[in-house]
Chain A
Amino acid sequence: MQEPAITEDLIAAHGLSPSEYDRILEIIGREPTFTELGIFSAMWNEHCSYKSSKKWLRTLPTEGPQVICGPGENAGIVDIGDGQCVVFKMESHNHPSYIEPYQGAATGVGGILRDVFTMGARPIAAMNSLSFGAPDHHKTKQLVNGVVEGVGGYGNCFGVPTVGGEVRFHPAYNGNCLVNAFAAGLADSDKIFYSAASGVGMPVVYLGAKTGRDGVGGATMASAEFDDTIEEKRPTVQVGDPFTEKRLMEATLELMATGAVISIQDMGAAGLTCSAVEMGDKGGLGVKLNLEDVPQREENMTAYEMMLSESQERMLMVLNPELEAEARAVFVKWDLDFAIVGETIAEDRFLILHNGDVKADLPLATLSGSAPEYDRPWVETPAAEPLTDADVPQIDPIDGLKALINTANYGAKQWVYEQYDTTVMADSMQTPGMGSGVIRVHGTEKALAFTSDVTPRYVKANPVEGGKQAVAEAYRNLISVGAVPLATTDNMNFGNPEKPEIMGQFVGAIKGIGEAVSALDMPIVSGNVSLYNETDGKGILPTPTIGAVGLIKNADDAILGEAREGHVALLIGETAGHLGQSALLAEVFNREDGDAPAVDLAEEKRNGDFISANREMIKACSDLSDGGLALAAFEMAENAGVGVSLDTADTQQLFGEDQARYLVACNFDQAEALMIAAGQAGVTLSSVGTFGGDSVTMGGSTAPLADLSDIFRGSFEASVA
């Protein structure tokens, strides 16, 4: 077949700038073939190359004694003792999910699960952080229904419990929803698999599902802004098959146990191209592929299409040739394709042959290592104007609470998480609804806690403090269930990085995240960047989603109790009554004003350490975040089916969103002991009320718990389902 001529339009359609094309000419010293142009476009797009973000990502703390493998592999790996490790990462699938919500979300889940089991880990927990446009925007309902069903459809069939996540709504996401999928797996620390190839003349093996034309050019699409031609991009979304993924996981883990795997890499964005280049580059080797041997789902596929296809549920592996028969038998057992499609070569070449014709012949190390890197201009986000005293609203506390829980953002999310299997694998100790998800490490005394957090309003007003706050909230959610925070994955969702103010948000958020993970000892071990989340020039709220994992050494030490009749409500941490950028202001007064709350990392650490040291005395614990004391106390009471009475009626005291705070429920004797311990530790602790009865009271204002519960449990479905 005649390949198209390389024209200026064709180059632009591949998302390559004229200067990037000049660079290609410089590297190869001739005009690229059509297939080569596609390969460069796949390797150099923002999604795969991190060309705008790399400079800043390098500044993040990624090391610690607990870290076995930091960023750069398929997922991060953290030691959890006894020769075991947890393997995890969060990744976005934003652009595809907006175009085709069910398949976009489903394949997002599939991609992140593959990242985890590619390293030899069996997935044990999933989360997802979802951001949608305004509840009344005409696209929102369709997106919410499709995305939630897609997440569930894939994860439920695959058989991994979804243990947590977030769902938020804001008009800034009207044209770009966010779907950030997290997965964690469990492995033995001495049985981890990496992507670096080794040995010359080793067979390169293709595993899993067949290659079709789906997703051709997907990574390039994900690196562009949307405009009104978006419907035309639907064919670049992949289609997921969780049943095949489940078989691929079982077969891959079984294959690894045979000793046949030298290195392995999943085929994600830009499929065969990225995976082959990655394995060769990391191993300092070249790779030769014979495309006629690639299992194909469709007829007459070209080299270009095969190299850029993003068909799902596929892996590439370098095989120990002595064990080929054993390896093949495993894939036959699971009815999956197993095909030798090439070999490792000594020269630094990425050589693509199709029926004997050379379709691409590129210097592999240069192709991988010479992706452009930009130091994009950026401007610091101007300091937000703090709220003045005169500007602080007052509201009857019950009216404020009712208004808050009657929104899609702060209503209960059971409509969402009941569509996810939260208990498969029979190790879920805490399912979604209250703070972190907790999963027992099967067959051991240990448990792991998982959370995902970010408050985009804060990040927009103040990227540095907002970045810190996302980490601090994740830290507090882990502390609240009795876990020791271990490490973090970051999923950075921003607008167009070519705009200095957007780049400024990114730079600020990275700075805040870096400071916080360093102070709280939860290094970044993996992550993903999604830029160009803009439609017709309008960007999303800056949304650096933080996924974090904590360890509970003995599952019996987890804080998973409920508030009970007669329990004292103790507030840990300083309350100044910060209402700037608060949930109350945004949702009830329709104002996103003021500065984000400042995060005192030393206080965060002190208060977190205090809870960890005194957890035997704490029956139930919740971090304070959006909605402050009022919302935390209500949620704790509602979850336990018991009333609560708080002494204050002051709006700032109740709805302020000062950081480093927790609400604790315990019996009277323990409250006294905790107060003494707090005094010794220099921690601010005060008694703010009691649990009991069947109503919610704040100062002189009261309402039956059952009435509030009805509002809380019904508002989400009423507004967006």
Chain B
Amino acid sequence: MRAAVVVFPGSNCDRDLAVALKEAGADVQMVWHKDTSLPEGIDFVGVPGGFSFGDYLRCGAIAAQSPICRSVVDFANKGGYVFGVCNGFQILAETGLLPGALLRNAGLKYICRQVPLTVQTTDSAFTQNYTQGQSITVPIAHHDGNYNADADTVARLQGEDRVAFTYGDNPNGSVADIAGILSENRRVLGMMPHPERAADENHGGTDGTALFRALVDTVVSA
């Protein structure tokens, strides 16, 4: 799998995401936010966590307008695989690739801790190596991870089996405990928890490893 990881000036999980992808066997290139196109022959785009442009305004709002994001949206619209983690999820929501928005945590505080997640669907390139209903432990680290969408959108996400992960013990007030969602074509995943911080036994466990392995397996054979 040939992966690109987008780097905004305030990204700070770009290296972590690249390391997890490489460990799983991907060939990874970093792509600067001022670039106007993705490298040739890319199979997958990762949008990492961090504070893309400081996030002094709505998180991800400025990043979504950056030159590279237009290419990422085109890439996704042509059926490309895109994965947004934390700030990356916020950015994907701002671009409209995923529905809903990430509001300030219900407790109004930043939260960094290991949280239990439930795998809600195995029907995606990202989640196929888990089992339905499996509980995994992955860290969160965010101030604005409170997923919100109107009731119709939530019902649609649930009806179309597009909720990828839910929180076991909702830490941030997200509607329907939603921690991660898929796009309609199931090739774009956005999630607040950080699986790239759970892909090494010496650091936060290995419950995230299956996601990266599954991606590398699928996208290679595609």
Contacts and interface: CB of A to CB of B under 8 A. Distances in A.
Interface string A332-351: 01110000000000000000
A158 interface: yes
A244 B19 CA distance: 25
Contacts of B9: 243, 246-247, 250, 334-335
Nearest to B200: A426
Contact of A243 (B10, B109, B110, B199): B10
Size category of the binding interface on chain B: 20 to 34
Interface string A242-253: 111011001000
Contact of B141 (A242, A421, A427): A421
Given A156-B141, A243-B53, A418-B113, A423 B204 contact: yes
Given A242-B51, A421-B141, A427 B203 contact: yes
A426 B16 contact: yes
Interface in A418-449: 418-429, 440
Given A157-B51, A158-B12, A426 B110 contact: no
B24 to A, nearest CB: 14
A322 B111 CA distance: 47
B46 interface: no
A414 B110 CA distance: 12
B54 A243 contact: yes
Contacts of B197: 423-424, 426
A241 interface: yes
Contact of A426 (B54, B109, B112, B204): B204
B194 to A, nearest CB: 7
A426 B55 contact: no
A333 B33 CA distance: 11
Contact of B55 (A157, A158, A425): A157
A555 interface: yes
Contacts of A427: 203
A152 B200 CA distance: 25
B203 A152 contact: no
Which of A157, A241, A418, A421 has the most chain B CB atoms closer than 10 A to its own CB?
A421
A7 to B, nearest CB: 43
Nearest to A432: B112
B197 to A, nearest CB: 5
Given A247-B9, A440-B202, A242 B16 contact: no
B54 A429 contact: no
Nearest to B10: A243
B111 A419 contact: yes
A159 interface: yes
Contacts of A414: 113
A243 B197 CA distance: 22
Contacts of B110: 149, 152-153, 156, 418-421
Contacts of A420: 110, 112
Nearest to A157: B51
B15 A425 contact: yes
Contacts of A149: 109-110
B38 interface: no
Contacts of A335: 9
Contacts of B109: 149, 418-419
A647 B92 CA distance: 58
B54 A421 contact: no
A334 B56 CA distance: 18
Interface in A101-160: 149, 152-153, 156-159
Contacts of A555: 202
A159 B49 CA distance: 10
B202 A157 contact: no
B56 A421 contact: no
A158 B12 CA distance: 7
Contacts of A334: 9
A426 B141 contact: no
Interface string A230-247: 000000000001111011
Nearest to A555: B202
B88 interface: no
A416 to B, nearest CB: 10
B196 interface: yes
A244 to B, nearest CB: 8
Contacts, number: 93
Interface in B171-222: 194, 196-197, 199-200, 202-204
B203 A157 contact: no
B145 interface: no
A424 B12 contact: yes
Contacts of B111: 418-419
Contacts of A152: 110
Which of A158, A334, A414 has the most chain B CB atoms closer than 10 A to its own CB?
A158
Interface string B105-121: 00001111100000000
A287 B34 CA distance: 37
Given A243-B54, A420-B112, A424-B141, A440 B16 contact: no
A419 B109 CA distance: 7
B93 interface: no
B12 A159 contact: yes
B15 A246 contact: no
B13 interface: yes
Contacts of A241: 54
Contacts of A156: 51, 110, 112, 141, 143
B139 interface: yes
B84 interface: no
A700 B196 CA distance: 48
A423 B10 contact: no
Contacts of A440: 202-203
Contacts of B50: 159
Contacts of B141: 156, 421-424
A246 B12 contact: yes
A627 B16 CA distance: 39
B34 to A, nearest CB: 8
Contacts of B13: 159, 424, 426
A440 B200 CA distance: 12
Interface string B4-37: 0000011011011001100000000000001000
Contact of B51 (A246, A419, A422): A246
Nearest to A160: B12
A145 B110 CA distance: 12
Given A157-B51, A426-B16, A426-B197, A246 B10 contact: yes
A555 B51 CA distance: 30
A32 to B, nearest CB: 40
A425 B15 CA distance: 7
B112 A423 contact: yes
B152 to A, nearest CB: 34
Interface in B150-168: none
A426 B23 CA distance: 13
A242 B51 CA distance: 9
A604 B197 CA distance: 37
A247 B51 CA distance: 11
A427 B196 CA distance: 11
Interface in A371-417: 414, 417
Contact of B16 (A157, A243, A418, A425): A425
Interface in A248-264: 250
Contacts of A243: 9-10, 51, 53-56
B19 to A, nearest CB: 7
13 contacts: A152-B110, A156-B143, A243-B10, A243-B53, A418-B111, A419-B110, A422-B141, A423-B204, A425-B15, A426-B13, A426-B197, A428-B204, A555-B202
Interface of A: 149, 152-153, 156-159, 241-244, 246-247, 250, 333-335, 414, 417-429, 440, 555
List the 10 closest A-B pairs by CB distance, nearest first.
A159-B12, A243-B54, A426-B16, A157-B51, A421-B141, A419-B110, A423-B197, A243-B10, A426-B197, A421-B112
Given A426-B196, A427-B203, A555-B202, 11 more contacts: A157-B55, A159-B51, A243-B51, A243-B53, A334-B9, A420-B112, A421-B141, A422-B141, A423-B204, A426-B199, A429-B203
